[in-house]
């Protein structure tokens, strides 16, 4: 079949099937915000929930009447009626009508085992249930989409039964037949074959709704489109029941950038990364850094060979231009780096490296040695920049911690204090400072700030926003090395630093020192040389 210039309809079910995922919970307000954003992005249909199933979804549909969508149509979702003979009084169908959505999507059984065992009815009765449910909603002036639940399993088990149920929906007036891989176990070639057959038999637009239990939901969706389907159901970030639904965040760019002869209503694909982040944010979930297209690592190059090639021509190791989906290229520095990684980072930081010098080679070697000791510069780019600037001779530490003592007192009869005592040298002067804290690392942080504040008032702006400890040699138990990664912020920028030691206090102090040095260095770099008031140690 020809796949020339087909418009693919995007049907988002984040607000319904997405919320069937574990740990996913959206308030009415969350749902309204997401719905608006989905419309802005260019979805054709937004499934808001199952109105009669819970009060939240009922309230959502009432409030959603005030939303003014630019292009999307709101859909309510539910099942076929409980009994064929009384569709007109079925509370579920009446709830769908009361939601006042222009489109209603109902699911019905297309796997004989479900019809028999779950509903306990005959084939004829199920066909009648589907026909009467669809035609009743249709007679009330709504457009009706039919979600053929378990279609692929149903077809494998008994093709005539599965097709008969689809035809009942078509005869009832459904305008889309959506084939559901409800258990998510189908393979792409099976989907292709069955979609082709359904298109021949039904003669109306066919959609695909895949679940990800075999990690193939996106592949199965693309296979259905290649076979002629023109309607895609999925969720943002692939959230949904069990392993999730087909991820629209991957499907949409695959359609728009790769599947020739197809188009969608999305007007700015460059907003894809923002959309993914927005939904994670509302769900209060961390973004998936490895997500294709939109993840932080999706275009992050670590291996020296890759970076060397990417610097000559990005497409040598990138399947698309990251900007097309609102993402960006990144280069990581690690033990797998070559000189190209360092050159790239220097360029990114606006640092000129003298030609024909050993600077880059020295830095590569230094980074590899440090990573061998347990350092990690992914996530600690500020520590890396200090190494680079030091090697270039443009950075000298602003202070030196000459001595550290940390005192921990706990127990029934103890004072329960944690205290750090530091001797810090700044510009030839020694400061001897003690500070109490909530835990030894907090005491250390406070003591260091106290020692430095009157030399460098700028450090007041630094806030610790994340602190992570990782044991590096687990088998050595409490004598193992630890790596501390700290994320700091000055309200405008954030930066990461790292420290490694067998002593968790020392590892923390190293990361803290890098954080303060980095901040002071950037403050100094922002000033003309003659005006820099900062002493160096
Ligand atoms: C594949 C999918 O994702 S379908 C969507 C699944 N989503 C949800 O289930 C979330 C919302 N669901 C709910 O809030 C509740 O399950 C409700 C309100 C729909 C129903 O609640 P209850 O009436 O207490 O029934 P319960 O959930 O225990 O069982 C479901 C009933 O629906 C019946 N049913 C299932 N599918 C269909 C269908 N397509 N048509 C008609 N009835 C159906 C089942 O046979 C079962 O009936 P039974 O109680 O006579 O055995
Ligand atoms: C309808 C639906 O959500 C499914 O079959 O997976």
Q: Residue 317 and residue 306: Cα distance in Å, rounded?
A: 6
Average pLDDT over residues 260-268: 95
| Residue 38 covered by a domain | yes
Q: What pLDDT does 357 receive?
A: 81
> Which of 14, 106, 107, 208 most suits a substitution to test ligand 2, by most atoms within 8 Å of the C-beta?
107
**433 and 359, same structural domain?**
no
Query: Which ligand is located closest to the Cα atom of residue 150?
Result: 2
Please identify, among 216, 251, 267, the residue that sits at the C-terminal boundary of a domain. Answer: 267
What is the residue-wise DSSP string for 412-460? TTS---EEEEEEEEETTEEEEEEEEESSHHHHHHHHHHHHHTTT-GGGG
Per-residue pLDDT for 301 more than 90? yes
**188 and 40, same structural domain?**
yes
Q: Residue 528 and residue 537: Cα distance in Å, rounded?
A: 20
**406 and 348, same structural domain?**
no
Residues 44, 50, 54, 58, CA torsion sign: positive
Q: What pLDDT does 537 receive?
A: 58
Predicted complex ipTM exceeds 0.85:
yes
What is the residue-wise DSSP string for 383-400? HHHHHHHHHTT----S-E
What CA–CA distances, in Å, run from 147 to 54, 188, 235, 498? 21, 19, 15, 52
Query: How many domains does one find in the chain?
Result: 3
Give the tens place of pLDDT for each residue, 170-226: 999 999 999 999 999 999 999 999 999 999 999 999 999 999 999 999 999 999 999
CA atoms within 13 A on the CB side of 418: 12
Average pLDDT over residues 16-45: 98
Residue 146 CB less than 6 A away from ligand 1:
no
Average pLDDT over residues 306-331: 97
Average pLDDT over residues 415-444: 91
Residue environment code for 38-75, b if the CB has 16+ CB neighbours within 10 A, otherwise e: bbbbbbbbbbbbbbbeeeebbbbbeebeeeeeeebbbb
**422 and 310, same structural domain?**
no
**224 and 347, same structural domain?**
no
Per-residue pLDDT for 404 more than 90? yes
Q: Is the pTM of this model over 0.90?
A: no
Q: 114, 142, 191: which is closest to 129 by C-alpha?
A: 114
| Residue 537 covered by a domain | no
Q: What pLDDT does 527 receive?
A: 64
Per-residue pLDDT for 529 more than 70? no
Specify the residue with its C-alpha closest to ligand 1, atom 37. Answer: 79
Query: Helix H segments across 242-288?
Result: 248-253, 272-283
Q: Could you tell me which residue, 478 or 4, shows the higher pLDDT?
A: 478
Residue 280 CB less than 6 A away from ligand 1:
no
Specify the residue with its C-alpha closest to ligand 1, atom 3. Answer: 17
| Residue 505 covered by a domain | yes
CA of 14 to the centre of ligand 1 (A): 19
Average pLDDT over residues 381-406: 95
Strands 418-426 and 429-437: antiparallel
Phi, psi of 506 (to 5 degrees): -70, -40
Please identify, among 267, 283, 317, the residue that sits at the C-terminal boundary of a domain. Answer: 267
Q: Residue 209 and residue 218: Cα distance in Å, rounded?
A: 10
Q: Among 347-356, 439-448, 459-468, which is the least confidently predicted range?
A: 347-356
CA of 13 to the centre of ligand 2 (A): 10
CATH of the domain at 192: 3.20.20.70
> Which of 166, 182, 233 most suits a substitution to test ligand 2, by most atoms within 8 Å of the C-beta?
182
Domain range spanning residue 448? 400-531
Q: Residue 452 and residue 473: Cα distance in Å, rounded?
A: 34
Q: Residue 430 and residue 416: Cα distance in Å, rounded?
A: 29
Element (H, E) at 49: strand 45-49
What CA–CA distances, in Å, run from 509 to 386, 401, 482, 484, 486? 16, 9, 12, 9, 10
List the end-to-end C-alpha distance of the chain, in Å, as a whole number.
74
| Residue 286 covered by a domain | no
Q: What pLDDT does 1 receive?
A: 45
């Amino acid at each position: 079949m020809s796949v020339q210039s087909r418009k693919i309809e995007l049907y988002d079910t984040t607000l319904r099937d997405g919320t069937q995922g574990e740990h996913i919970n959206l308030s009415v307000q969350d749902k309204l915000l997401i719905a608006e954003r989905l419309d802005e992005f260019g979805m054709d249909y937004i499934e808001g929930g199952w109105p009669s199933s819970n009060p939240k979804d009922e309230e959502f549909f009432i409030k959603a009447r005030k939303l003014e969508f630019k292009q999307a149509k709101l859909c309510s979702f539910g099942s076929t009626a409980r009994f064929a003979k009384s569709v007109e009084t079925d509370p579920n169908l009446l709830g769908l009508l009361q939601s006042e959505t222009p489109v209603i999507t109902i699911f019905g059984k297309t796997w004989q085992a479900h019809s028999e065992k779950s509903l306990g009815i005959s084939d004829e009765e199920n066909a009648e249930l589907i026909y009467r449910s669809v035609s009743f909603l249709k007679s009330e002036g709504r457009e009706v989409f039919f979600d053929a639940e378990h279609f692929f399993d149903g077809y494998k088990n008994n093709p005539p039964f599965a097709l008969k149920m689809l035809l009942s929906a078509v005869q009832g007036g459904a305008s889309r037949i959506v084939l559901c891989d409800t258990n998510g176990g189908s393979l792409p070639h099976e989907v292709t074959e069955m979609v082709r057959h359904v298109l021949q038999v039904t003669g109306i637009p066919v959609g695909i709704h895949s679940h990800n239990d075999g990690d193939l939901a996106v592949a199965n969706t693309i296979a259905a489109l290649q076979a002629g389907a023109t309607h895609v159901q999925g969720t943002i970030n692939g959230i949904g029941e069990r392993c999730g639904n087909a991820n629209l965040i991957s499907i949409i760019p695959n359609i728009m950038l790769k599947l020739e002869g197809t188009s969608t209503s999305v007007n700015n694909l460059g907003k894809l990364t923002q959309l993914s982040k927005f939904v994670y944010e509302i769900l209060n979930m961390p973004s998936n850094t490895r997500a294709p297209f939109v993840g932080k690592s999706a275009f992050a190059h670590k291996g020296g060979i890759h970076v060397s090639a990417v610097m000559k021509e990005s497409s040598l190791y990138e399947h698309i231009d990251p900007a097309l989906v609102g993402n960006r290229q990144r280069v990581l520095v690690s033990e797998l780096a070559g000189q190209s990684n360092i050159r790239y980072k220097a360029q990114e930081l606006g640092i000129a490296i003298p030609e024909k010098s050993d600077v880059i080679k020295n830095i590569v070697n230094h980074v590899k040695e440090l990573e061998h000791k347990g350092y990690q510069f992914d996530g600690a780019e500020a520590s890396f920049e200090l190494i680079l600037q030091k090697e270039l001779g443009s950075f000298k530490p602003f202070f030196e911690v000459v001595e550290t003592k940390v005192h921990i007192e706990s127990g029934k009869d103890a004072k329960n204090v944690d205290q750090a005592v530091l001797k810090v040298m700044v510009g030839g002067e020694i400061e001897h400072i003690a500070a109490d804290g909530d835990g030894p690392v907090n005491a250390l942080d406070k003591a260091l700030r106290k020692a430095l504040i009157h030399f460098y008032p700028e450090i007041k702006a630094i806030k610790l926003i994340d602190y992570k400890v990782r044991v590096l040699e687990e088998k050595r138990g409490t004598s193992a090395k630890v790596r501390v990664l700290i994320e700091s912020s000055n309200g405008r920028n954030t930066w990461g630093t790292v420290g490694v030691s067998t002593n968790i206090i020392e590892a923390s102090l190293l990361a803290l020192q890098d954080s303060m040095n980095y901040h002071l260095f950037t403050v100094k770099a922002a000033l003309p040389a003659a005006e820099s008031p900062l002493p160096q140690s």
